[in-house]
Amino acid sequence: MRYNVKFQSSISEKEPPLGENLARSIVAAHRSKDVDIELIDSYEDFAWWLEGSGNKPRPWILVGFVDDGAYQWLLQINSGSSWFQRLRGRTDAEQRDSIALAVHDILTQGEDFSNIRWHEGDFADENWTDCPDA
């Protein structure tokens, strides 16, 4: 499964901080699909941090402006499991897979999104696909 996606968005971002409207739109789309996710904060002034509710370590999402084209954005689905938890066999891969598929549905079904490219590893990698599970 791929957890990095670049896309273009026509959602208006007229004033800083860039991405807040987009992040709120992604949160609203998840909630409409009964996925409990919330906007946490601006992440070091270049991205927006989103995560699900609950006390367990859970995957979290960063959405940020890449600036390599008009309205070019990167969304990363990150593991909430520490390296020690993964070493002991505890993983949140199922949750990350579920989030990736939900994000894909949101991006492909929304009129505001185009040029959707899923990547493994470095987002500049040329080996992209048009869906996360390819």
Q: What is the pLDDT of residues 75-132, one digit of tens each?
A: 999 888 888 888 888 888 888 898 899 999 999 998 999 999 998 876 566 778 888 9
107: nearest Cα among 21, 30, 17, 43 = 30
On whether the CB atoms of residues 59 and 96 are closer than 8 A, the answer is yes
- Say what the pLDDT of residue 107 is: 93
Does residue 116 contact residue 123 with C-beta atoms inside 8 Å?
no
Please name every residue paired with 73 in a beta bridge, in sequence order, or none if there are none.
7, 65
C-alpha to C-alpha distance for 68 and 87, rounded to whole angstroms: 36
Tokens of 73: 């954005």
Going along the chain from its start, the domains and CATH numbers come out as: 4-119 (3.30.160)
- Predicted local distance difference test score (pLDDT) of residue 68: 63
Give the separation between CA 93 and CA 82, rounded to whole angstroms.
Answer: 12
pLDDT in tens, 26-68: 888 888 877 778 778 776 667 888 887 666 778 888 898 887 6
d(CA 54, CA 49): 16
Q: Which residues of 120-133 are buried (b: 16+ CB within 10 A; e: fewer)?
A: eeebeeeebeeebe
